[in-house]
Amino acid sequence: MRQLLEFIPIVLFFIVYQMDGDTVTLYGWSHTVDGIFSATAVLMVATVLQVLATWALTRQLEKRLLWVGLAVLGFGAATLLLRNEMFIMWKPTIFNWVLALVFGASQFFGQRNLMERTLGSQIQLPHRIWARLNLLWVAHFTVVGALNLVVAYGYSEATWVSYKMYSAILFTVFLTGLTAWIVAPHLKDQPANNQE
């Protein structure tokens, strides 16, 4: 459920983008929606609110959500200040490729890769399965970053905005499904909790 809530800023970005040229009046304040620039401003505000709401509810700041927030604010600010939509359009690629590098490099530092460090306290898997999962996530981040550039440079801005929303959801569902498929055969080997 919480993962679905993380898509709210992207959905709001998409909705505001679709309102391009419309005038929105709220409490006496009027604003004409300026396409990707208004959508980027809404994305930034929604992301900050999402981080604050998550902290208020859990009293914890998730590193991943915090990094997403910083990336959105950085690339969003560049987009708005320089009036250049390519900054926000490059954000998914750079963010995903940085994650690919971090997950990939984790194979070579320490005894456990990043997947095992993240999920190892919740589930026990053979080392080769952790390596396979880590490689899957590296491949996922690499491909998602590359496809973002293909759409950003090969299609219209409107197509990229739609792609951004739908691909974020579909790629997450696909990666979760593949991860579950790889892990599922090993779940029966997990020690049972003896709670009476």
Q: Tokens 């959105």 identify what position?
A: 72
Instruction: Kindly report, residue by residue over 87-121, the tens digit of the pLDDT.
Output: 999 999 999 999 999 999 999 988 899 999 988 88
- What pLDDT does residue 188 have? 72
DSSP-derived 3-state class of residue 147? helix
Angle at 15 between CA 41 and CA 175, to 5 degrees: 95
Per-residue confidence (pLDDT) for residue 191, from 0 to 100: 59
User: Which DSSP state fits 31?
Assistant: E
Q: What is the DSSP letter of 107?
A: G
Cβ(123)–Cβ(183) below 8 Å: yes
Give the tens place of pLDDT for each residue, 117-142: 988 888 889 989 999 999 999 999 99
Q: Are 35 and 54 in contact (CB under 8 A)?
A: no
φ, ψ (nearest 5 deg) of residue 31? -145, 130
User: Residue 32 belongs to what H/E stretch?
Assistant: strand 29-32
What 3-state DSSP class applies to 26?
strand
Q: How far apart are CA 53 and CA 125, in angstroms?
A: 33
Which amino acid makes up residue 61? Answer: L
Write out the two tokens for 165. Answer: 């929303």
Q: Report how far residue 12's alpha carbon sits from residue 46's, in angstroms, rounded to the nearest whole number.
A: 8
Does residue 24 contact residue 17 with C-beta atoms inside 8 Å? no
For the chain, residues with pLDDT lower than 50 are: 194-196
CA distance 58 to 41: 26
What angle do the packed helices 86-105 and 157-187 form, to 10 degrees?
A: 20
